[in-house]
């Protein structure tokens, strides 16, 4: 008999891609010396995408198309494997470090919210 539990989210789901794109935007801003998160508008201007598309991608309501992903990869230095599959090998070292820091910060915020809910 197979063990059952909550479904495991796939790395290529819209939700997973949305989270990676949010992390990429914020981490990229940090690698550029920004103290605050880079706005969607500034990021979209940089990668030549519409802000509406990017907002939908970050919310997980639209999947990032290949041409858009290539623009991001060329301008930011991430890989298509990172965008679509979550594979970190090949990411620029500074960007990978900032993404890891953001993930730790997000987990801490989640724990803090859970503690408040008790």
What ranges do the domains of the chain cover?
14-117
* CA–CA distance, 54 with 24 (Å, rounded to integer): 12
Q: Over 90: is that where the pLDDT of 96 sits?
A: yes
Q: Mean per-residue pLDDT for 9-34?
A: 90
Task: Read off the pTM.
Answer: 0.82
* CA–CA distance, 63 with 57 (Å, rounded to integer): 6
- Provide the pLDDT for residue 108: 72
Q: Mean per-residue pLDDT for 24-53?
A: 93
Q: Over 50: is that where the pLDDT of 3 sits?
A: no
How does the average pLDDT of the chain come out, rounded? 86
| Domain at 14-117: CATH code | 1.10.260.40
Cβ within 8 Å of residue 31, ≥6 positions away: 92, 94, 95, 98
* Phi and psi based region of residue 97 (left: phi greater than 0; alpha: psi -120 to 50; beta: remaining): alpha
Q: Over 60: is that where the pLDDT of 2 sits?
A: no
């Amino acid at each position: 008999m197979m063990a059952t539990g909550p479904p495991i989210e796939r790395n290529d789901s819209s939700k997973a891609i949305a989270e990676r794109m949010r992390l990429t935007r914020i981490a990229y801003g940090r690698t550029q010396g920004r103290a605050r998160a880079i706005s969607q508008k500034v990021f979209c201007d940089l990668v030549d995408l519409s802000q509406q598309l990017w907002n939908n991608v970050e919310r997980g309501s639209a999947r990032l198309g290949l041409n858009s992903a290539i623009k991001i990869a060329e301008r930011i230095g991430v890989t298509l494997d990172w965008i679509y599959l979550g594979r970190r090998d090949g990411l620029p070292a500074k960007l990978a470090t900032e993404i890891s820091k953001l993930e730790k910060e997000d987990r801490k915020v989640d724990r803090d919210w859970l503690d408040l809910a008790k």
